[in-house]
Structure 1
Amino acid sequence: MRLVPLDLDRDLDLLHAWVTHPRSHYWGMQGATVDRVRSEYQGIADNPHHHAWLGHDEDGSPLFLAETYEPAHSELARHYDVRPGDIGMHVLVAPPTSKRSGVTSAVMRAVMDFCFADSRVERVVVEPDVRNEAIARKNAEVGFVEERHVQLHDKVARLSFCTRVAYEMSVPHLNPHAMASAHRRLIAKAIAEFSHERLINPEKIDTNRYRFGENTFTAKRYPLEHWVIDADSLDGPLDALDFIIGLRETLGIPEKLLGTYLEEISATLAGTAWKITHRRETAEELVHADFQTIEAAMTEGHPGFVANNGRIGFGLSDHEAYAPEAGSPVRLRWVAIRKDESIFVTAGDERAHYVSELGEELLDRFERQLASRGLDPGEYRYLPVHPWQWEHKLTVTFAPEIARRAIVPLDAGPDRYRAQQSIRTFFNTDRPDRHYVKTAIAVQNMGFLRGLSPKYMQATPPINEWVASVVEGDEELRACGFGVLRELASIGYTGDAYHRVGTPSAYTKMLASLWRESPVPKIAEGERLATMASLLHRDRDGNSLVSALIRASGMSAARWVATYLRAYLRPIVHCLLRHDLAFMPHGENLILVLENHVPRRVFMKDIGEEVAVMNDQPLPPDVERIRIDVTDEIKELALFTDVFDGFLRHLAGILDADGVLSAGDFWALAGDCVREHAKDHPQLSGRLDLLRPTFQHSCLNRLQLRNTLQMVDLTDQAGSLIFAGELENPIA
């Protein structure tokens, strides 16, 4: 949101409609004429100690009126001892035109941020009508403390104050209502996913009514033992932490890691409460939203993991600055690192890469910064750093290297980025044609510390080039519009003591980055982008985006799903059967290209870490790392586990629960997609049995519960899997 000075010539009619609306009766202008409103606000415009502001929503629509004033020059001066740094404030939210929860809270924080943006302000003063209980609650939410009632010329007012520190310490999302909702959602998800992984077995007590422990609930069961639980139907204790504690032996959490897992559960609850409080986009609005608005609006996290929003290491201000749902602009920090103590890999020219990402002017300034310190710019290269990593880790953990100028701090880049769902990857919002930047960050999230290994990433650009050549050279994949976003360059520092020890650890993954292609230059007019995770999104009112997209497309649900499966499922099947090539094609790793609200093609990303070749075909030496030797049954799990169980079961459940398309019809369409591919490619028949009646049930939460610090060994991911029997194949 942003505030601009009120312009009476432009805003008078809007202002009059707002201040005279019945919901604005505490504003004291009921029945006022347009001329009276103009006169009132002309008086404010002429007063150097009083200012009126029009507040705009994120999309530029007028949303609220704010006033700021100097209490020393108001009637409040007679009622309290005015301090230097005091500012008075009024706020009026526009009468609602649709159901949108959380608007007033968001507006209140926007106005408070605006007030405290002036470094001279130390305290905000308000004096609402004592009868206005609603605004009193909103004031308390952001840190106001009522001092006493005072008689002003037109009302009895609550004289209240909020200091800068009180506001900074306010946590409006950590309130009983939001946290109760977060507990309810997380327990519903825990019961659903732990039941799916056969860790627990709820008792059926009636049609669609179940009991587990002290909780009863309404649920429907779908193919792949997928549970859709109505969170609002949950009865019984609603404390997610106690729920996990009560199951610790059943879940098999190692005693030494129980506290870590509980912290991830607490962080997931806090993140959910924040999203409930602050994310306000409706599913209908997201149908027409841009790429990054959709990215920030996602509230679910990984659909399978229960503790999926840990981010251990982030504080409150870090969350609001760097979490993807906060949608805050981020300017990356840049450091210079010695070439002889670092790694840089790209298919092109190194300096040309920096010019394309930074521009000649900034690159020249960086070189002059180095020269001004008596350093030779020719001996250095440039690495982007997450601001959190610089502040919390690098200045301490790499202090000796900074002191001896092996690492040289430079400046923030001019471009603004936004964090993506993976937390450590950034999209350039000022120059969307420029690359994504993926950074190392020592934050524990969903079973891993989110670092990057320089030595491991040496092979990333070659791997991406090889995969891209396979995809681009395949007629079937071209026909499906399937593409990959290549990771084109990687960089990392290796001159520290942690690397000299010779043992890989979290400390050898703290200072590295890579650059990935942006999808923006690859789309045509009339196309737009969205993370595939958005197909599993429900807004705060429970409405799903995928159902809204289907309605907006004008297509039948069956045709829409069939079109989507051709863009997503068919290429995955083809890569598996034709090339023994497997990706990790979950929601966050796919970007949809939508035309008329229908997914027509997809981009796969995160290739370097999450791709495998499962045969003995010749590979370039730099690409050999991705080869794995597995049985045909494990190969098939690249479809059954990663696609069917990891994503499509959730999508099928949403469409069935919404009454848009039955789960039976959904899986029939998925089966048709696989069979049509087989019909079109008879030469691939029999390579794998994708229509087998059952497949091994590989379990994600069991991995995290076994070791919440590192779920799998990245050098032997297949060997790390945990199975729980078999699942029936829904397309058999």
Structure 2
Amino acid sequence: MRLTIEPLDARDAAVVSLLHAWVTHPRSVYWMMRDATVEDVRREYGDIDANPHHHAFLGRADGRPAFLAETYDPSRSPLADLPELQSGDLGMHVLVAPPDGDPLPGFTDQVFGAVMAHCFADPSVRRVVVEPDARNEAIRRKNVAAGFVELREVPLPGKTAMLSVCTREDWEQARGDAAPHLTPALMDRAHRHLVAKAIGEYAHERLVAPEPDPARPGWWTLQAGDSSYSFSARTYPLEHWVVDPASITPPPDAQRFVAELAPVLGIPDRLLPTYLEEIASTLAAATWKLRHRRVPVAELVDADYQAVEAAMTEGHPAFVANNGRIGFGLDDYTAFAPETGEPVRLTWLAARRTATRLSLGAGQSEPALYDGELAPQARERFERRLRSLGRDPGDYLYLPVHPWQWVNKLAVTFAPDVARRDLVHLGVGEDEHRPQQSIRTFFNVSRPEQHYVKTALAIQNMGFLRGLSPAYMEATPAINDWVAATVEADAELQACGFTVLRELAAIGYTGDAFHRLAAPSPYRKMIAALWRESPVPRLAAGERPMTMAALLHRDADGDALVTALIKASPLDAEAWVRSYLRAYLRPLVHCLYAYDLAFMPHGENLVLVMEDHVPVRAFMKDIGEEVAVMTDADRMPLPPEVERIRGDFPDDVKALAIHTDVFDGVLRFVAAILAEDGVLGTDAFWGLVRATIEEHVADHPELADAAASYDLLRPRFRHSCLNRLQLRNTLQMVDLTDQAESLMFAGTLRNPVAAS
């Protein structure tokens, strides 16, 4: 693509009209001209044209107007009095035109590069200066990627700006390196962090057994093949290890470490390369975050929902290879990984109604669903597209897909379906979304009150190809309705403020060749989506949502968000943890005792509601795939369409819904962070956990038999292991239709809430 830059003619009415459409578009909110009239725009750029220290330029892509650029002398601007300014500085602004149709991947980066080249074409320019609105995280990330250094926030008319500068040398270095995050120093940090986690989690699952160093208290050695590693570490209840990454000697290489341990870890030879690829991808993501996503915890204490979501850097706390994303290229990663925080406009298909399943929950209808999810102009555009092909819009359902999925799978693997117009590409929607930590689920940032959208995504990530089955999802809305009704009718759960975010609708296309085969396959899970309620409409004044995964987050400097939240709250640590456990643990215990109902309550599946930095209640999500009723029909009758969630589990496995999924999967990490930070000792923490369970029993004597049956305070419980599942089969670590049979155990763990 050829990009050109020319002086802007503010006397040209057509140019002024075009600029007016650009600067008043909702995407251009930070340009601060949303309410401008055409005459306002003409006057503004006429004034710039008359100012010898300020210049405006029109950028074209292959001759088509595509962006606006401005340069100015900072010493003759509102920045003039700042001490950071230097001789040779040139100020710069750039505005990329809102896309007409599908956004072109990488186009904004190309424009940014062209404008920077235009600035540095003047040999007297030593630095480019920008001052984006401090809230504009997307452009700030692009600035940093281009070589800018953020100096500080400065007050300017109409905004608080992030003053940033880029030297000619920094720009040339950033421009010449397609992967500036892949440096020896950052990779060493990534290797150390991942190997420290691997030692801790493999030791936790009793795959390896570090030996204490008799000469140095607190130090350990681990033999891995022909290598011997030495490190310092501390251990906590539930055999939880905290390994100091900087202490590991010799300097570790995560792939070599895993390969050396492969015989011990039980990785099949045929799957070892796949696991090593997931390790490499996890390392690459870690270095990218260290280079581009260094958000101090102090900035997250009061940050909004999506800012916190994008700032999470660890992924699943237990899995070692947890950022695999096999199938993504570097450009896909920067466009679609949740930590990049980039907005995404979903691709929409029209799917022939006779070959597509749409399931709707209670109170939902097809017109209401699409009226809520698609702006009128998008619906009109889609209908025009179908009519232009001689198709009746009434014969189709609208199905959102991940942009990567369309480009890499649907337009190729399902080319016959597209060619015969059973699938019709309609373009992108109007709304901007943000990928969540689960990577294939999107939050609507244009209209936060609208539904999440969960899409099929055929990348290999953390033991699964991330597809969605139309057949399996057909019952999802009905399952969610039953769970939601059960929760809403329960006085205890309502007193705790516990509720679920329903998956209201599910859609999947089944007209392809793969659905005509007898054997199931991943290809049947590539064209499907579901819609889930947003928590935003349910928030009261003074409340804000936060992913529970944030409680396990440490920033690049090692500061913990949970510690910062406690210090910012009006409560002491014990009171804060007590409130958290009432919002999180107590409802889960009650669901188990009262209904034999178990969720998958890990950090990404819980949205905490924070009030004055304290968790006061919780939303549970991801219901359809990960909820189970663990009793027979006599104790808990279910509607026929919901019967799928009933499971036959051994008694000693049922309690693992709390012991493994809550104690081992979440609370052991929170407890260790608070202990490491000197905020709350582990005895006090686990004492509060025990008290939460005992208080529930005391308040519900009618559930005494169930409490005795589950016996959550027993001395020991079975040690169910997650990494063992992935190591055994990194392509599909569990069978979702029979998860209990997929579990792998390593003896028992001492229960930290048992009576001493």
Q: TM-score, normalised by structure 2?
A: 0.81
Write the letter of the residue equivalent to 2:327: G
CA contact (8 A) 2:401 2:529 kept: yes
* Distance in 2, Cα, partners of 1:482 & 1:263: 40
Alignment counterpart, residue 189 of structure 1, candidates 194, 197, 200? 197
Whole-angstrom CA distance in 1 between matches of 2:551 and 2:120: 54
Q: Secondary structure at the match of 2:82?
A: helix
* Counterpart position of 1:172: 180
The corresponding residue for 1:474 is: 490
Partner of 1:247: 261
- Cα deviation for residue 234 of structure 1 reads 1.6
* Distance in structure 1 (CA, Å) of the matches to 2:386 and 2:452: 26
Q: Which of 213, 219, 231 matches 1:209?
A: 219
Pair 1:647-2:666 in alignment? yes
- Structure 1 Cα separation of the partners of residues 721 and 439 of structure 2: 24
> Does 2:127 correspond to 1:90?
yes
Identity among equivalent pairs (%): 57
Q: Which position in structure 1 is the counterpart of 2:160?
A: none
What SS does structure 2 have at the residue aligned with 1:393? Answer: helix
Separation in 2, partners of 1:479, 1:6 = 58
Match of 2:145 among 109, 121, 124: 109
CA distance in 2, matches of 1:392, 1:15: 49
Is the 1:577–1:684 contact (alpha carbons within 8 Å) kept by the matching residues of 2?
yes
TM-superposed deviation, 1:7: 7.5
Contact 1:67 1:90 in 2 (8 A): no
Once the two structures are superposed, what CA deviation does each residue of 1:224-264 show, in whole Å capped at 9, x if it has no partner?
00001111222213100110010000001000000000000
Q: 2:701 aligns with which of 679, 682, 686?
A: 682
Quote the Cα distance in structure 1 between the aligned partners of 2:399 and 2:126. 44
Q: 1:668 to 1:112 in 2, by over 3 A?
A: closer
Whether the 8 Å CA contact 2:127–2:168 is kept in 1: the answer is: no
User: Which deviations, in whole Å up to 9, do the C-alpha atoms of 1:367-389 show, x marking residues without a partner?
Assistant: 22212211111111000010000
Rounded Cα–Cα distance in structure 1 between residues aligned with 2:688 and 2:484: 29
Give the equivalent residue in structure 2 for 1:637: 656
1:202 partner letter: P
* Equivalent of residue 598 in structure 2, options 582, 587, 594: 582
- Residue aligning to 1:534: 550
Q: Offset of 1:208 from its aligned partner?
A: 1.5
Moved more, 694-703 or 233-242: 233-242
Specify which of 728, 752, 756 is matched with residue 706 of structure 1.
728
Cα gap change, 1:11/1:712 in structure 2, threshold over 3 Å: closer, same or farther?
farther
Deviations 1:448-495 (A, max 9, x none): 000000000001000000000000000000000001000000000001
For 1:628, the aligned partner's letter is G
Matched residues in 2 for 1:356 and 1:106: separation? 32
Number of residue-to-residue matches in the alignment: 636
What is aligned with 2:502?
486
Pick from 295, 306, 309 the counterpart of residue 320 of structure 2: 306
Q: 1:9 & 1:225 partners in 2: Cα distance?
A: 58
**Corresponding residue SS for 2:623:** coil
Question: Quick check: 1:105–1:138 contact (8 Å CA) kept in 2?
Answer: no
Aligned to 1:335: 349
How far has the Cα of 1:107 moved from its partner? 3.4
Q: Return closer, same or farther for 1:137/1:728 CA change in 2, 3 Å cut-off.
A: farther
Q: Contact 2:204–2:241 at 8 Å: present in 1 too?
A: yes
Residue 281 of structure 1 and its aligned partner are, at CA, apart by 1.3
Q: What residue in structure 1 maps to residue 18 of structure 2?
A: none
2:82 is matched by which residue type in structure 1? Answer: A
Q: Give the 3-state SS of the residue equivalent to 1:300 in structure 2.
A: coil
In the other structure, the counterpart of 1:264 is 278
Q: Which residue does 2:718 correspond to in 1? A: 696
Native 8 Å contact 1:106 1:278 kept in 2: no
Per the alignment, in what secondary structure is the counterpart of residue 608 of structure 2? strand
Do the aligned partners of residues 378 and 658 (structure 1) sit closer, same or farther apart at CA in structure 2, a change above 3 Å counting? same
Q: Of 117, 138, 144, which aligns to 2:170?
A: 138
Change (3 A) 1:374 1:186: same
Find the residue that maps to 2:508 and give its secondary structure.
strand
| Structure 2 CA distance for aligned equivalents of residues 635 and 588 of structure 1 | 22
Aligned to 1:569: 585
**Structure 1 vs Structure 2 CA RMSD:** 2.6
Letter in 2 for 1:323: A
- The 3-state SS of whatever aligns with 2:198 is helix
Give the SS at the match of 2:485.
helix
Equivalent position amino acid for 2:198 in 1: A
- Structure 1 CA distance for aligned equivalents of residues 219 and 278 of structure 2: 30
Q: Which residue of 2 aligns with 1:462?
A: 478
Q: Which runs of 5+ in 1 are unaligned?
A: 21-26, 30-40, 45-50, 56-65, 77-87, 98-102, 114-131, 145-166
2 CA distance for matches of 1:499 and 1:54? 48
1:352 aligns with 2:374: no
Q: Secondary structure of the equivalent of 2:81? A: helix
User: 1:11 deviation in Å?
Assistant: 8.0
- Per the alignment, residue 80 of structure 1 pairs with none
- Once the two structures are superposed, the pairs formed by residues 294-443 of structure 1 within 5 Å of their partners are 294-347=308-361, 348-443=364-459
* 1:249–1:9 distance in 2 versus 1, CA, 3 Å: closer
Q: Which runs of 5+ in 2 are unaligned?
A: 1-27, 32-68, 96-113, 150-164
CA contact (8 A) 1:67 1:91 kept: no
Q: Report the TM-score, using the length of structure 1 for normalisation.
A: 0.83
1:716 counterpart (738, 743, 748): 738
AA of the residue aligned to 2:411: T
The 5 A counterparts of 1:493-504 are: 493-504=509-520
| Equivalent residue, structure 2, for 1:627 | 646
The amino acid that maps onto 1:705 is: L
Q: Give the equivalent residue in structure 1 for 2:16.
A: none
Corresponding residue for residue 82 of structure 2: 17
Distance 1:104 1:494 in 2: 42
Q: Is the 8 A contact 1:201 1:212 kept in 2?
A: yes
**Aligned partners of 1:675 and 1:75: how far apart in 2?**
74
Aligned to 1:120: none
- 269, 285, 291: which is aligned to 2:299? 285
Q: 1:447 is matched with which residue? A: 463
Deviation digits for residues 2-43 of structure 1, max 9, x if unmatched?
8985788998464432445xxxxxx448xxxxxxxxxxx8xx
Aligned partners of 1:338 and 1:380 also within 8 Å? yes
Query: Aligned to 2:625, what secondary structure does the other structure show?
Result: coil
Q: 1:316 to 1:684 in 2, by over 3 A?
A: same
The CA distance in 1 between the partners of 2:676 and 2:738, in whole Å, is 38
